[in-house]
Chains A and B, each alone.
Chain A
Amino acid sequence: MGHIGRIVGAAGIAACVAVGAVQAHAAEPIRIGAIFSVTGPASFLGEPERNTAKMLEEQLNKDGGLLGRQVEVIVYDDESDTTKAVTAVDRLIKRDRVVAVIGPSTSGSTLAIVPKIEEAKIPLISCAAAKKIADPVKRWVFKTPQNDALAVKRIYRHAKGAGLTRLAVLTASDAFGAAGREELKELAGPAGMTVVSDEVFGPKDTDMTAQLTRIKGTAAQAIIAWGTNPGPAVVARNRVQLKIGLPLYMSHGVASPKFIELAGPENAEGILLPAGRLIAEGQVPSGHPQKAILANYTKEYETRFKQPISTFGGYAWDAIMLVAQAVKRAQSAEPAAIRDALEGTRGFWGTTGEYNFSAEDHAGLTEDAFVMVRITKGNWEMLR
């Protein structure tokens, strides 16, 4: 390359840099990173989360953005793969220079990216449920879904009210089921419950009659089944087949219309489970602080994406809106200021419940984030 070429090249680069700088100065958007499992086995979580994030980005900008700046939500798909989540968080931090990260959808991916987040000193609001994410508290890490322990406490409160103290637990042998089993056994004593039967089933098992027959022969007054589809649906079917009249509790892991479809409405009849208010949005009393949030979110989501609302999308709603309110209160889009404002969040109502973060609590919810619902004629009936 001759002199002229080099000069033209240099000028070109200078021009580009100058244009870039001018643009950045004019309307530098506030960039929020997001990692969701949009495809792969966890896509039932990630897809509604991505949809929700994109919908909120649009809404925030329509209302004038944050601090007078536009909001840009950059979503990467980790394909339900932990390794890809780590690559994605690197890209968000180093290339996209985001001020906060929301997601990932799964607990495994969340725990995998925590070291990167702590190193970069950027707040993370996870949409995954595992207790370990916020216990012990990590300075930069928050989460929106309810802890399993809250669901267990809610079930025990209901069982106690109904005078049921001797329980049979039937849990899936996967991560969700095992975590539930641990909590169920640990919290039984303090709640005045006795676990008289402790059975497990494989997440792919197609027949639970053996376990249920065994439970039938014990002194159990109620059964608590803990897992995600399809296992609990088989439990519901087998229970009716064996004519077991004991009340059946399930976890929030099956709080979706799919469960009723798989079990069949006649087999699901009467099953009790803790769930976020979102699934029975129509039955939330009109004075409730969540009423408007839930009604608007449901309406906007369902008209825009032509698919039923899901609790999981709600986790992303909460995460983005938590960041948005933190930015507003901090009057700053600096990661450290956002983090401090997040930790100072009190009485923020999201789709999942009321968040009260503090230096000791980065999960922020209480068992009131759950309501007990009963499946009645193929529908969710919210119990008082």
Chain B
Amino acid sequence: MPALSDLLQYVISGATLGSTYGLAGLGFTVIFNTTEIINFAQGEFVMLGGMLAVFAIRWGGVPPVLAVPLAIGLTTLVGVVVNRLTIRPVRGRSVIVLIIITIGVSIVLRGAAMLLFGKDTYSLPGFSGDEPIAFLGASLLPQNLWVGGMTLGTLVAMKLYFDRTISGKAMLACACDRKAASLMGINVDAMVTLSFALSALVGALGGAILAPITLTSYDVGILLGLKGFAACILGGLGNPFGAVAGGVILGVLESLSAGLISSGYKDAVAFVILLALLFVRPSGLFGQRAADRV
């Protein structure tokens, strides 16, 4: 039986890793809530957040404190441009067409990043140093706290936005019924643009705060996008809280199975549990029943 401090270490590692998945998952949620599109370029927004921060420092000589907001801002802009150039011209087509377009966008963004930044892996300095902190026999990096705090903060902000503000509610209305929403005087196009901006922002934030721990390269988006999507499905698609919780659960599962069972099968173990859960609850852990949307 492993020591308690080891178990704690697995949980902390897993939760940090899971927050990544959760932040990627949050982005999926925002766009899904407005447009019902699963944006498969979400992982690329995460990648851009990290890579742009790295290159703002390397090429632009921007101090690290400013590089991260700059990268997030630029990625948000990319999100807006992606929507304007690829999604808006074909609006009104079936959702599946739009989803396939996002897959194309992800390939283009990844390719562009490869040409621009090269194929190497890069690291970003930790926001507040790399000195490990001991905690009940386990140890964590200051950056782990940043990741946890930012994820939580983003989640709360999103919750407030969707529940308390007019534009947040307008966004949800667009997803429920586009036509009705526009008849109610909601500018649907603007809402879609806003949702792309918001999801790019959340994704880029995740990418930038993660880069100091996980390193980054032009192709990290594939895996993060996939795991983020899995997190969404686990937590229940469309529910921001579910996305983050799903991500953390997935991360902890992976870490525990690597630590307690076998590091060779950690992904397999995590995904088998994921499948089993979905079998019991097809709409995800925190998802609403499909029945209330006829």
Interface residue ranges, A against B (CB under 8 Å): 41, 43-44, 173, 199-202, 204, 206-207, 209-211, 213-214, 216-217, 229-230, 233-234, 237, 240-243, 258, 261-262, 264, 266-267
A200 close to B264 (CB less than 8 A): yes
A258 close to B132 (CB less than 8 A): no
Cβ of B112 within 8 Å of any chain A Cβ, yes or no, is no
Cβ of B26 within 8 Å of any chain A Cβ, yes or no, is no
Q: A206-B215, A213-B6 are in contact. Are A43 and B119 (CB under 8 A)?
A: yes
A-B contact pairs, 13 of them (CB 8 A): A206-B215, A207-B213, A207-B255, A209-B9, A210-B255, A210-B263, A210-B266, A211-B263, A214-B259, A216-B6, A230-B121, A241-B139, A262-B215
A41 partner residues in chain B, CB cutoff 8 A = 119
B215 close to A230 (CB less than 8 A): yes
B132 partner residues in chain A, CB cutoff 8 A = 240-243
A207 partner residues in chain B, CB cutoff 8 A = 13, 16-17, 213-214, 255
Q: Nearest chain-B residue to A39 (Cβ)?
A: B119
B214 close to A214 (CB less than 8 A): no
Name the distance in Å between B55's Cβ and chain A's nearest Cβ. Answer: 15
B139 close to A242 (CB less than 8 A): yes
Interface residue ranges, B against A (CB under 8 Å): 2-3, 6, 9-10, 13-14, 16-17, 20, 119-123, 130, 132, 134, 139-141, 210, 213-215, 217, 220, 223, 254-256, 258-259, 263-264, 266-267
A266 partner residues in chain B, CB cutoff 8 A = 130
B123 close to A209 (CB less than 8 A): no
Q: A173-B264, A242-B139, A264-B130 are in contact. Are A210 and B258 (CB under 8 A)?
A: yes
Name the distance in Å between A219's Cβ and chain B's nearest Cβ. Answer: 15
Using A233-B215, A234-B215 as known contacts, list a sample of 7 further A-B pairs with CB atoms less than 8 Å apart, ordered by residue number in A.
Answer: A207-B13, A213-B6, A214-B263, A217-B2, A237-B213, A242-B139, A243-B132
Complex Cα gap A374–B96 (Å): 54
A to B contact number (C-beta, < 8 Å): 89
B123 close to A262 (CB less than 8 A): yes
Name the distance in Å between B272's Cβ and chain A's nearest Cβ. Answer: 16
Contact of B258 among A204, A211, A217, A258 (CB under 8 A): A211
B122 partner residues in chain A, CB cutoff 8 A = 262
Contact of A229 among B20, B121, B210 (CB under 8 A): B121
Contact of B123 among A43, A213, A264 (CB under 8 A): A264
B9 close to A213 (CB less than 8 A): yes
Q: Nearest chain-A residue to B256 (Cβ)?
A: A210
Q: Nearest chain-B residue to A266 (Cβ)?
A: B130
Name the distance in Å between A244's Cβ and chain B's nearest Cβ. Answer: 10
Complex Cα gap A159–B241 (Å): 50
Contact of B139 among A206, A217, A243, A262 (CB under 8 A): A243
Name the distance in Å between B224's Cβ and chain A's nearest Cβ. Answer: 9
Complex Cα gap A204–B17 (Å): 13
Complex Cα gap A243–B131 (Å): 11
Name the distance in Å between A320's Cβ and chain B's nearest Cβ. Answer: 26
Contact of A204 among B13, B140, B223 (CB under 8 A): B223
Complex Cα gap A261–B120 (Å): 11
The interface centre, meaning the residue of B121, B210, B266 with most chain A CB atoms within 10 A of its CB, is B121
B121 close to A213 (CB less than 8 A): no
B263 partner residues in chain A, CB cutoff 8 A = 199-201, 210-211, 214
Q: Nearest chain-A residue to B120 (Cβ)?
A: A258
Complex Cα gap A264–B123 (Å): 9
A44 partner residues in chain B, CB cutoff 8 A = 119
Name the distance in Å between A93's Cβ and chain B's nearest Cβ. Answer: 31
Name the distance in Å between A315's Cβ and chain B's nearest Cβ. Answer: 20
B267 partner residues in chain A, CB cutoff 8 A = 202
Complex Cα gap A229–B122 (Å): 10
B215 partner residues in chain A, CB cutoff 8 A = 206, 230, 233-234, 262
The interface centre, meaning the residue of A234, A241, A262 with most chain B CB atoms within 10 A of its CB, is A241
Complex Cα gap A230–B121 (Å): 7
Complex Cα gap A214–B9 (Å): 10
Q: A207-B255, A209-B13, A211-B258 are in contact. Are A217 and B6 (CB under 8 A)?
A: yes
Q: Nearest chain-A residue to B122 (Cβ)?
A: A262
